[in-house]
A = this chain, B = another copy of it.
Amino acid sequence: MERVTVTLGERSYPITIEAGLFNHPASFEPLRAGDKALLVTNDSIAPLYLDVVRHSLEKLGVNVDTAILPDGEKYKTLSVMDQVFTKLLQGNHGRDTTLIALGGGVIGDLTGFAAASYQRGVRFIQVPTTLLSQVDSSVGGKTAVNHPLGKNMIGAFYQPAAVVIDIDCLKTLPARELSSGLAEVIKYGIILDADLFDWLEQNIDALLALDVQAMGYCIRRCCEIKAQVVAADEREGGVRALLNLGHTFGHAIEAEMGYGNWLHGEAVSAGMVMAAETSRLLGQFSQSDVDRIKRLLARANLPVNGPESMKPEAYLPHMLRDKKTLAGELRLVLPTAIGQSEVRGGIAHEVVLSGISHCLI
Contacts and interface: CB of A to CB of B under 8 A. Distances in A.
A323 B78 contact: no
A118 B157 contact: no
Q: How many of chain A's residues touch chain B, expressed as a range?
A: 35 or more
Contacts of A172: none
A205 interface: no
This chain's copy number in the assembly? 2
Closest 4 CB pairs of A and B: A89-B149, A119-B323, A120-B155, A117-B154
Interface of A: 36, 78-79, 81-82, 85-86, 89-90, 92, 94-96, 113, 116-121, 142, 144, 147-150, 153-157, 235, 320-321, 323-328
A63 to B, nearest CB: 10
Given A117-B156, A118-B154, A156-B117, A78 B89 contact: no
A121 B90 contact: no
B121 A153 contact: no
Contacts of A89: 147, 149-150, 153, 321
- Among A85, A154, A235, A320, the most chain B Cβ lie within 10 Å of the Cβ of A154
A116 B320 contact: no
A120 B86 contact: no
A328 B321 CA distance: 44
A120 B157 contact: yes
A85 B120 contact: no
A323 B95 CA distance: 6
